[in-house]
Amino acid sequence: MATPASDIAAPRPAEIVALLAPFPGRSALTTRMALICALTVLITSTYGTPEAAISAYIVFFINRSDRVSSVIGSVGAMVLVTVVVGLVLLVAMFSVNVPAVRLACMAVLSFAMLFLTSASKLRPVGAILSMIVGFGLDELGLLPAGEAATRAVLYALLMALIPVGVVIAVNLVIGPSPRKLFGKELAKRLRIAARMLSDRITDEDRIAFDTALRANNHGVQTWLKLSKFEGTATAEDVNALRHAMASTTGIMVAVDLAVQEPDACLPAAMSALLASTLEQMAAILEAGGYPVDITLDAPDVSMLTPVGAIIFDDIRSAIENFSIPETKPDHTGKGELSKHSGFFDDDAVSNPDHVRFAFKTTMAAMFCYLLYQQLDWQGIHTCFITCYLVSLGSTAETLEKLTLRIVGCLVGALLGTAALIFLLPLFTSVGELVFLVFAGAWLGAWVAVGSPRIAYVGMQTAFAFFLCVLQGAGVSALQVAGPGFDLTIARDRLIGILIGNVVIYFVFTRVWPVSVKKQVDTLLAAVVDTWIRIARSADPNTRRSLAASALSQYAELREDLGLMHYEPSAVRPRPAWIASRQRALAELEAMEAPLYFAEGRAIAETDARVHAIARNIGADQTELPSIPDKADPPVRQPGGDPSAAAPVDALLRLIDARLTRVRAATPLPPSEETESNVHS
């Protein structure tokens, strides 16, 4: 059953502990990021470059889990930053000495780059580039002479390029290959599935299994492509491993149904056989290979229920053909990819939300800029930076990020202030400072590389910590200078962060607030369409590929519903709307595995059941004349071979039984039942 939105948005303490728990690769990635931050601070301190805190913080944006992505991303960041700095110099030539013109240029460039952030593939880095342009022009306006301004711009370029160079160097030496990470990820999923087949399943196992089942495979697929690019995998290996990933999805879907339904469970001996085989396959993947020529001893399946027999046959087929690619290419989903192949999004011109996002963020940033200029309080300039780092497309996403950043800011400020009071006065060399930065970066990175639900806490913790402890320390080639420990600087910077968060809150909740409501219904219609395609497909490879997409869409939909917890009452949809979507989500979850095993049989019956859910909330985007205009699905009249019809009838009965349980557990208020069917 789907988790209620309130539970999704506000994790309980036990869930937070689970989100902080170690997982394979977490400590290695965390240590690598902390090492890069420490080396960055060592270089900036040695050569006395300004804004060492920002240099260290940039690492959190450009470092990735594998070495190829890290290097490519760093090179791309190097090119973008160089172009942006050149743009700043060009604009500064005619605006730096005229405050009104400089302010106008800051606003226009901010608006243009934020529009690209919202409506193009520049989305991951657009806000950061906007912040660099605005802050660079602001800093140039403070300098008295053109030569000093030019030198400041070059230092700003160096401030960004130092962490880029360190990221490249460290990843080339100790960064893991994408091929290795891909094998470990598949091995982890197979081991989780094996644990689920045992008779000692814990709550942690169930959470880990559900997370792996509904994981977004985009990053894993990227690892596979980069493996071929790097040369650690041949084209034959890539095809085999791509098929292995689809087979893993099929195995997990089957295991999920087997452990949840009494009528679908497998005998202990059969489960033990499958679990042992999956463990052996995981060991091969973790060692850098992939399983081939797997044969399962055929046990007696005559005692299995019809659904149990379907499950075992599907698992056995997926295992025995685990890495044997299909003879014909699978074009599933390629049409969807081609739609977004351009630089701009499809709705870049037609959707006013892109312009509104750029306007709102620019307005908030310019307000903060004028605020600290009029107050002559340069120490709170972090409010200007915060506006770019916090703002996102919807009100709920922005407020979620804002909340997480405030929590991280308070945690980082507490740690940084404690370091300022108790540790920094005792330091006499830059080496001690570097070690302190390593420790603070490690704590922030541990959280940042985990679940997206709390990742921003880790990033903001590191940023606030860096702002506190990195206050212009430097050494020359001959003399070591001790680090600064001015509490006033730390105080002002943290006040600026909080001011920026407050300004963004009022702007994004009062000016053209954007609810995730439209996004939920759009994604819900996509999930419905995907599961209909799965139920209609008789090809196992197509079903597995589509199932992976549908499961990740479900997870995204659940997160979007959870985000509504952050929306103000004036923006949030009515309770009836939320309740109807929550129940539709639970109904879709109940139907997932049975629809996966339908294999193109009983198309009318499965279509009717899925479309009934969509019609109840007004999200049915497809017209099917064969489906009657009523919520209840038609009853299938089996014909032909009774033995062939038995599994199909068993699946349909299972769907109906699961839907009945969901509707009994999540009833809609009687007075709002009708309203929810028409309100969207």
pLDDT at 18 over 50: yes
pLDDT score, position 452: 81
Lowest-pLDDT range, 26-30, 163-167, 350-354, 490-494? 490-494
Q: Please tell me whether residues 466 and 360 are part of one structural domain.
A: yes
Phi-psi region of 645 (alpha: psi -120 to 50; beta: other; left: phi over 0): alpha
In a domain, 563, yes or no: yes
pLDDT band at 70 (very low <50, low <70, confident <90, very high): very high
Q: Are 39 and 170 in contact (CB under 8 A)?
A: yes
Looking at the predicted structure, is the pLDDT value of residue 87 above 70?
yes
Instruction: State the amino acid at position 78 in one-letter form.
Output: M
The predicted structure's pLDDT at residue 670: 58
Residue 338 lies in a domain: no
Closest of 2, 10, 14, 1 to residue 558, by C-alpha: 2
Place 485 in a pLDDT band, splitting at 50, 70 and 90: low
Q: Using the predicted structure, report yes or no on whether residue 226 has a pLDDT greater than 90.
A: yes
Assess if residue 344 is contained within a domain.
no
The more confident residue out of 643 and 145 is 145
Q: How far is residue 456's CA from residue 93's CA, in Å, rounded to a whole number? A: 37
Q: Which run of H or E residues covers position 428?
A: none
Q: Are 562 and 639 contained in the same domain?
A: yes
pLDDT one-digit tens code per residue, 328-372: 544 444 434 344 457 788 888 888 888 999 999 999 999 999 999
Q: Which domain holds residue 316?
A: 178-328
pLDDT at 144: 59
What is the average pLDDT score of the chain? Answer: 82
Q: How many domains does the chain have?
A: 3
Q: Are residues 539 and 656 in the same domain?
A: yes
Residue indicated by tokens 């064969």: 626
Res. 678 pLDDT band, cuts 50 70 90: very low
pLDDT computed for residue 632 by the predictor: 41
Q: Is the pLDDT of residue 640 over 50?
A: no
Band (pLDDT 50/70/90 cuts) for residue 627 is very low
pLDDT at residue 1 greater than cutoff 60: no
Whether residues 556 and 613 share a domain: the answer is: yes
**Over 60: is that where the pLDDT of 529 sits?**
yes
Residues 100 and 223 in one domain: no
Nearest CA among 446, 440, 387, 375 for reference residue 414: 440
Which of these ranges, 195-209, 398-412, 516-530, 613-627, has the smallest mean pLDDT?
613-627
**423 and 307 within one domain:** no
DSSP output for 597-631: TTTTSSHHHHHHHHHHHHHHTT------TTS-SSS
What is the predicted pLDDT for the residue at 428? 81
336 located within any domain: no
Angle between helical axes of 642-665 and 306-320 (0-180°, round to 10): 100
Average the pLDDT over each of 241-245, 444-448, 528-532, 633-637 and give the range with the smallest value.
633-637
Q: Are residues 282 and 393 in the same domain?
A: no
The answer to whether residue 334 is domain-embedded is no
The first and second tokens of residue 469, run together, are 């402890």
Indicate if the pLDDT at residue 638 is higher than 70: no
pLDDT at 636: 45
From 261, 294, 328, the end of a domain falls on 328
Answer whether residue 244 is part of any domain: yes
Measured in degrees and rounded to the nearest 5, phi and psi for residue 344 equal: -95, 150
342 in a structural domain: no
Q: Are residues 163 and 22 in the same domain?
A: yes
Residue 296 in any domain: the answer is yes
Would you tell me the crossing angle of helices 146-174 and 26-47 to the nearest 10 degrees?
Answer: 150
CA angle at 392 for the pair 10 and 395, rounded to the nearest 5°: 60
Question: How many C-alpha atoms does 79 have within 13 Å on its Cβ side?
Answer: 5
The domain boundary, picked from 510, 538, 562, lies at: 510
Confidence of residue 671 (pLDDT cuts 50, 70, 90): very low
Same domain, 170 and 182: no
Q: What distance in Å separates the CA atoms of residue 499 and residue 382, rounded to the nearest whole number?
A: 9
β-partners of residue 475 are 480
| Token reading at 20 | 């902080």
pLDDT for res 28: 94
Residues 230, 133, single domain; the answer is no
Looking at the structure, do residues 9 and 90 belong to the same domain, yes or no?
A: yes
Bigger pLDDT: 14 or 453?
453
Residue 236 CA: distances (Å) to CA of 227, 232, 233, 240: 12, 12, 8, 6
pLDDT digits (tens, 9 = 90+) for 386-427: 888 888 888 888 888 888 888 998 899 899 989 988 888 888
The whole-number pLDDT of residue 333 equals: 41
Look at residue 378 and tell me whether its pLDDT is greater than 50: yes
Say whether both 543 and 565 belong to one domain. Answer: yes
Q: What would the pLDDT profile of 91-150 be if each residue is shown by its tens digit?
A: 877 777 788 888 898 899 889 888 988 888 877 777 777 887 887 777 776 665 556 667
Domain final residue, candidates 464, 493, 510: 510
Q: pLDDT tier at 639 (50, 70, 90 boundaries)?
A: very low
Highest mean pLDDT among 287-291, 400-404, 473-477: 287-291
Q: What is the mean pLDDT of residues 83-94?
A: 81
What is the pLDDT, as a whole number, of residue 281?
Answer: 95
Tell me the angle at which helices 352-374 and 382-390 cross, rounded to the nearest 10 degrees. 170
The answer on pLDDT for 539 being more than 60 is: yes
Q: Is 392 exposed, middle or buried (0-12, 13-18, 19+ CB in 10 A)?
A: buried
Q: Is 539 left (phi over 0), alpha (psi -120 to 50) or beta?
A: beta
